[in-house]
Amino acid sequence: MYIIAGLGNPGKKYENTKHNMGFLTVDILAEKLGIRVSRIRHRALTGEGMCGGEKVLLVKPQTYMNLSGESVREILSFYREEPHHLIVIYDDIDIPIGTLRIRKKGSAGTHNGMRSVIYQIGSEDFPRIRIGIGKERKGDLADYVISGFSKEDRETVEEAILRAADAAVCIVEKGIEAAMGEYNSKAKTVKKAEEEKR
């Protein structure tokens, strides 16, 4: 089974903010796969279903971002799954808006939610999908990540979330290498390629 965890903050106040890219991607995934993410277990909203013949559990930790790892650790432990069957989706301030970065493993960078996951499960060895929300920020970092998107950025972000959901499906169905090859590209590059196809 694959556990796909999108990181974010619960509550209406944070619904469409930059720090909720993980939650928004899980919502799209749930829609694509016909899964209801509504059951509260292990301090998270969860939903089970199938993806390409594999069982998947979609997860939205309800602990607030900085404690996300506590919920993820409980879920991994309950289902007795190894970290390499965990896929974490989250926002990244260090890459440009709309860019996807998929990696097999690695550090948390500047992301507190990811730092919590790595600390709690005691491993960096799991796939992750990072969705760019930087780099043109001004002012305080904490204020920036819990703010919404400008009108001009919204379309780019919505496209990135759709691609992130597709990338998660690709990891489950074809493996991390295939997903990295197909989805590790800048938003503008993807848009240009799509325009050339028309």
Domains in the chain (CATH in brackets) are: 2-197 (3.40.50.1470)
Q: 179 pLDDT exceeds 90? A: yes
Active site residue 84: no
Rg (CA), the chain: 16
Q: Which of 19, 42, 85, 111 is catalytic?
A: 19
Query: Rounded to whole angstroms, how far apart are CA atoms 15 and 11?
Result: 7
Q: 187 pLDDT exceeds 60? A: no
- pLDDT per position as a tens digit, 78-120: 999 999 999 999 999 888 999 999 999 999 888 899 999 999 9
Q: Are 30 and 79 in contact (CB under 8 A)?
A: no
- pLDDT per position as a tens digit, 4-60: 999 999 988 888 887 899 999 999 999 999 999 999 999 999 999 999 899 999 999
Q: 149 pLDDT exceeds 80? A: no
Query: Rounded to whole angstroms, how far apart are CA atoms 174 and 196?
Result: 26
> Per the confidence metrics, is the pTM higher than 0.85?
yes
